[in-house]
Amino acid sequence: MPDHLNIAAVRITDLQGRIYTVRKSGTRAWMQPGGKLEPGEDPAAAALRELSEELGVHWGPERLESLGTWEGPAANEPETSLTAHLFAAVWDPVLDGAAQVGAELAEGAWMVPHDALLRDDLAPLLREHVLPTLL
Protein backbone atom coordinates (compact mmCIF):
# COMPACT_ATOMS: atom_id res chain seq x y z
CA MET A 1 0.00 0.00 0.00
CA PRO A 2 1.40 3.44 -0.92
CA ASP A 3 2.51 5.75 1.87
CA HIS A 4 1.28 9.30 2.48
CA LEU A 5 3.24 12.23 3.88
CA ASN A 6 1.90 15.37 5.52
CA ILE A 7 4.40 18.21 5.01
CA ALA A 8 4.80 21.95 5.36
CA ALA A 9 6.70 23.79 2.62
CA VAL A 10 7.63 27.45 2.23
CA ARG A 11 7.78 29.37 -1.05
CA ILE A 12 10.53 31.87 -0.25
CA THR A 13 10.96 34.66 -2.76
CA ASP A 14 13.25 37.67 -2.77
CA LEU A 15 12.77 41.23 -3.97
CA GLN A 16 14.13 40.26 -7.43
CA GLY A 17 11.35 37.69 -7.89
CA ARG A 18 13.62 34.67 -7.47
CA ILE A 19 12.60 31.60 -5.46
CA TYR A 20 14.85 29.85 -2.96
CA THR A 21 15.10 26.12 -3.52
CA VAL A 22 16.88 23.35 -1.69
CA ARG A 23 18.11 19.86 -2.46
CA LYS A 24 18.30 17.30 0.30
CA SER A 25 21.41 15.17 0.72
CA GLY A 26 21.33 12.00 -1.35
CA THR A 27 18.53 13.24 -3.64
CA ARG A 28 18.24 14.86 -7.06
CA ALA A 29 15.04 16.93 -6.83
CA TRP A 30 15.03 20.63 -6.00
CA MET A 31 12.15 21.77 -3.80
CA GLN A 32 11.03 24.38 -1.32
CA PRO A 33 12.39 24.34 2.22
CA GLY A 34 10.16 22.38 4.58
CA GLY A 35 9.47 18.90 5.79
CA LYS A 36 7.25 16.43 7.56
CA LEU A 37 4.89 17.50 10.33
CA GLU A 38 5.52 15.97 13.74
CA PRO A 39 2.49 14.21 15.32
CA GLY A 40 -0.02 16.87 16.42
CA GLU A 41 2.09 19.71 15.01
CA ASP A 42 0.40 22.71 13.41
CA PRO A 43 1.51 23.19 9.76
CA ALA A 44 2.72 26.78 10.33
CA ALA A 45 4.70 25.69 13.38
CA ALA A 46 6.21 22.86 11.31
CA ALA A 47 7.17 25.31 8.55
CA LEU A 48 8.89 27.61 11.04
CA ARG A 49 10.68 24.68 12.72
CA GLU A 50 11.90 23.38 9.37
CA LEU A 51 13.15 26.84 8.31
CA SER A 52 15.10 27.07 11.55
CA GLU A 53 16.62 23.59 11.08
CA GLU A 54 17.30 23.88 7.35
CA LEU A 55 18.20 27.56 6.87
CA GLY A 56 19.01 28.79 10.36
CA VAL A 57 16.35 31.52 10.31
CA HIS A 58 14.16 32.11 13.33
CA TRP A 59 11.02 33.70 11.98
CA GLY A 60 7.74 34.31 13.75
CA PRO A 61 4.38 33.27 12.30
CA GLU A 62 3.80 36.81 11.00
CA ARG A 63 6.42 36.12 8.30
CA LEU A 64 4.30 33.35 6.76
CA GLU A 65 1.28 33.67 4.49
CA SER A 66 -0.82 30.54 3.99
CA LEU A 67 -1.23 29.46 0.36
CA GLY A 68 -3.45 26.47 1.15
CA THR A 69 -2.73 22.82 0.48
CA TRP A 70 -1.65 20.76 -2.52
CA GLU A 71 -2.03 17.02 -3.06
CA GLY A 72 0.34 15.10 -5.29
CA PRO A 73 3.28 12.72 -5.54
CA ALA A 74 6.29 12.95 -3.26
CA ALA A 75 9.56 13.80 -4.98
CA ASN A 76 12.03 11.49 -3.28
CA GLU A 77 9.92 8.59 -2.03
CA PRO A 78 8.51 6.21 -4.66
CA GLU A 79 4.83 5.28 -4.45
CA THR A 80 4.27 7.97 -1.84
CA SER A 81 1.74 10.77 -2.04
CA LEU A 82 1.76 13.93 -0.04
CA THR A 83 -0.39 16.69 1.32
CA ALA A 84 1.63 19.90 1.30
CA HIS A 85 0.61 22.79 3.52
CA LEU A 86 2.14 25.61 1.52
CA PHE A 87 3.24 28.96 2.88
CA ALA A 88 4.83 32.03 1.32
CA ALA A 89 7.50 34.29 2.78
CA VAL A 90 9.76 37.04 1.48
CA TRP A 91 13.47 36.85 2.20
CA ASP A 92 14.82 40.18 3.41
CA PRO A 93 18.62 40.20 3.01
CA VAL A 94 18.95 43.06 5.52
CA LEU A 95 17.07 41.16 8.24
CA ASP A 96 17.89 37.60 7.21
CA GLY A 97 21.42 37.82 5.79
CA ALA A 98 22.53 35.24 3.25
CA ALA A 99 20.65 31.96 2.98
CA GLN A 100 22.65 29.09 4.46
CA VAL A 101 21.84 25.40 4.29
CA GLY A 102 21.91 23.09 7.28
CA ALA A 103 20.19 19.97 8.61
CA GLU A 104 19.80 17.30 5.92
CA LEU A 105 20.30 19.69 2.99
CA ALA A 106 23.06 19.29 0.41
CA GLU A 107 22.62 22.71 -1.19
CA GLY A 108 20.38 25.68 -1.73
CA ALA A 109 19.98 28.02 -4.70
CA TRP A 110 18.03 31.08 -5.78
CA MET A 111 16.27 30.37 -9.10
CA VAL A 112 14.43 32.55 -11.58
CA PRO A 113 10.96 30.92 -11.86
CA HIS A 114 10.83 30.92 -15.69
CA ASP A 115 14.33 29.45 -15.97
CA ALA A 116 13.64 26.90 -13.25
CA LEU A 117 10.75 25.42 -15.25
CA LEU A 118 13.27 24.42 -17.94
CA ARG A 119 14.99 22.07 -15.48
CA ASP A 120 14.25 18.35 -15.26
CA ASP A 121 15.18 17.96 -11.60
CA LEU A 122 12.30 19.70 -9.79
CA ALA A 123 9.95 18.18 -7.24
CA PRO A 124 6.36 17.82 -8.50
CA LEU A 125 5.05 20.38 -6.00
CA LEU A 126 7.56 22.96 -7.22
CA ARG A 127 7.04 22.24 -10.94
CA GLU A 128 3.28 21.72 -11.01
CA HIS A 129 2.07 24.20 -8.43
CA VAL A 130 4.56 26.63 -6.90
CA LEU A 131 6.42 27.94 -9.94
CA PRO A 132 3.27 28.50 -12.03
CA THR A 133 1.92 30.79 -9.29
CA LEU A 134 4.97 33.01 -9.75
CA LEU A 135 4.69 33.40 -13.54
What residues does each domain of the chain span?
3-129
Fold of the domain spanning 3-129: Nucleoside Triphosphate Pyrophosphohydrolase (3.90.79)
CB 121, CB 77: distance < 8 Å: no
Q: What angle is formed at CA 54 by the lines to CA 4 and CA 15, rounded to 5 degrees?
A: 105
Give pLDDT, residue 2: 60
Q: Assign 78 a pLDDT band (cuts: 50, 70, 90).
A: confident
24: β partners: 105
Q: Can you tell me whether residue 49 is helix, strand or coil?
A: helix
CB 126, CB 22: distance < 8 Å: no
Tell me the mean pLDDT in the region 40-56.
96
20: β partners: 12, 110
At 109-130, the pLDDT tens digits run 999 999 999 999 999 999 999 9
